[in-house]
Amino acid sequence: MRLAGRPGTRTLTRQPVPGGSATPGRATPGDASQASATPGNASPGGAGAGGASQGSATPGGTAPGRDRNAAGRPRNARLRDELGRPLGRGTPGGVPPSPDEPALPPASALALAQQLIDSGQPFRAHEVLEASWKAAPPAERDLWRGLAQVAVGLTHARRGNARGAVALLRRGADAISGYADACPHGINAAGIAGSAGELADGIEAGGLAAVPPGRLVIRLVG
Q: Give the count of alpha carbons within 13 A of 54, CB side only.
A: 2
Q: What is the CATH number of the domain that holds 154?
A: 1.10.3450
pTM here?
0.65
pLDDT of residue 218: 97
Instruction: Give the mean pLDDT per block of 10 residues along the chain (222 residues).
Output: 48 48 40 34 41 41 53 62 66 62 92 96 95 97 98 96 98 97 96 98 96 94 88
User: How do beta strands 2-3 and 12-13 pair?
Assistant: antiparallel
pLDDT of residue 102: 82
pLDDT of residue 53: 38
Q: Residue 142: which domain range?
A: 106-216
* CA-closest candidate to residue 203, choices 155, 161, 151: 161
pLDDT of residue 112: 96
Question: Exposure of 20 by Cβ count < 10 A (0-12 exposed, 13-18 middle, 19+ buried)?
Answer: exposed
In sequence order, the β-bridge partners of residue 68 are: 74
pLDDT of residue 184: 97
φ/ψ (deg, to 5) at 61 = 95, 0
Residue 149 forms part of a structural domain: yes
Residue 35 forms part of a structural domain: no
φ/ψ (deg, to 5) at 95 = -130, 150
Residue 52 forms part of a structural domain: no
Residue 156 forms part of a structural domain: yes
Residue 208 forms part of a structural domain: yes
When divided into structural domains, the chain yields a total of 1
Residue 37 forms part of a structural domain: no
* CA-closest candidate to residue 130, choices 114, 108, 152: 152
Residue 6 forms part of a structural domain: no
Residue 27 forms part of a structural domain: no
